[in-house]
């Protein structure tokens, strides 16, 4: 009789532990699938960074309400990012303060980080508003982008990496 009561007492505990382990394995599988998809995007050089926050060198952050992106499509780099901060020099007639360009002349270097993310350096060769773009990508798809220019202060963007949107 006592053994039956002990079994009835511990049966829900064993069931709870078994289901918890199964849920944890499922969660780990989802994270691994997400990591593999992200790795495939980065290795193929076909992805888009969607900016959510911009931080100027002075430390002020702004939440971005419009769609601002930096996209890589193989041999094409397309930047559509806002800029606010200090410019060291200005060109006469230049009224576009944003970081907006489309180029096929750039170098692209990527390396894995210790925590499972990536560090990417893009160097556009024909742009004055962006001499170097650095991306720090986490294994979960979150990303920090720093745009360096010879004529402006550095600006940072925070957001996420995802697949390129389908062309219309």
Residue with the larger pLDDT of the pair 165 and 81: 81
Tokens linked to 83: 């800029």
Report if residue 88 sits inside a domain: yes
Report if residue 31 sits inside a domain: no
Q: Which residues contact 74 (CB under 8 A, 6 or more apart)?
A: 44, 45, 46
pLDDT band per the 50, 70, 90 thresholds, residue 49:
very high
* Overall average pLDDT of the 94-123 stretch: 88
Domain of residue 141, CATH code = 2.40.128.410
Report if residue 127 sits inside a domain: yes
Range of the domain at 158: 40-162
Report if residue 55 sits inside a domain: yes
**For residue 11, is pLDDT > 80?**
no
Q: Could you report the per-residue pLDDT of 55-96, keeping only the tens digit for each?
A: 988 778 899 999 999 999 989 999 999 988 777 776 665 666
Q: Which phi and psi angles does 157 have, rounded to 5°?
A: -130, 145
Report if residue 147 sits inside a domain: yes
DSSP output for 8-19: HHHHHHHHHHHH
Other beta carbons less than 10 A from residue 80's beta carbon? 16
**For residue 19, is pLDDT > 60?**
no
Q: Mean pLDDT in the chain?
A: 83
* pTM of the shown model: 0.79
Q: How many domains, the chain?
A: 1
Give CA–CA dist 136/142, Å, rounded: 8
């Amino acid at each position: 009789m006592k053994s039956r009561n002990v079994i009835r007492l511990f049966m829900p505990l064993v069931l709870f532990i078994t289901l918890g382990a199964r849920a944890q394995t499922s969660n780990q599988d989802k994270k691994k699938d997400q990591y593999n998809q992200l790795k495939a995007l980065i290795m193929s050089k076909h992805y888009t960074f969607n900016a959510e926050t911009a931080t100027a060198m002075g430390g002020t952050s702004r939440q971005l309400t419009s769609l601002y992106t930096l996209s890589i499509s193989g041999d094409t780099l397309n930047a559509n990012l806002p800029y606010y901060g200090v410019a060291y020099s200005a060109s006469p007639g230049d009224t576009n303060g944003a970081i907006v360009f489309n180029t096929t002349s750039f170098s692209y270097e990527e390396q894995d980080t210790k925590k499972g993310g990536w560090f990417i350096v893009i160097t556009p060769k024909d742009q004055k508003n962006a001499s170097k773009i650095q991306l720090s990508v986490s294994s979960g798809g979150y990303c920090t982008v720093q745009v360096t220019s010879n004529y402006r202060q550095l600006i940072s963007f925070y957001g996420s990496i995802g697949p390129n949107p389908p062309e219309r």
